[in-house]
Amino acid sequence: MAYALKAAVEAAGSSEGTAIRDALQTLPPTDYLTGPIAWSDICHNAQGRDMRVVEYQNGKGKFLQLIRPSKIAQVDPGNPCEAVPTS
């Protein structure tokens, strides 16, 4: 995320929040440490990255697997994120 933030601040020429948000939406998909990530101007979050599944028992985490969601689940009626492909 730090690399993406740096790129967005440089692209925006500003450290102001809305300028960074707008710049993130225009960055090309980039291969970061967690894999290729692009941001959507519809959904306003990172798209296309692997997610880690971690199981916690007795306060200890255990890595299970990496998954790459094929779509964003609908969490409320009319959710714009559901229509955005993640890869």
In the chain, domain spans: 2-83
Q: Name the band, by pLDDT with cuts 50, 70 and 90, for residue 28.
A: confident
Mean pLDDT of the chain: 81
Query: pLDDT tens digit string along 44-79?
Result: 566 667 788 999 999 999 999 988 877 766 666 666
Which among 37-41, 42-46, 69-73, 80-84 has the top mean pLDDT? Answer: 37-41
CA–CA dist 28, 26 (Å, integer): 6
Asked whether the predicted pLDDT for residue 87 surpasses 60, the reply is no
The secondary structure of residue 63, as a DSSP letter, is: E
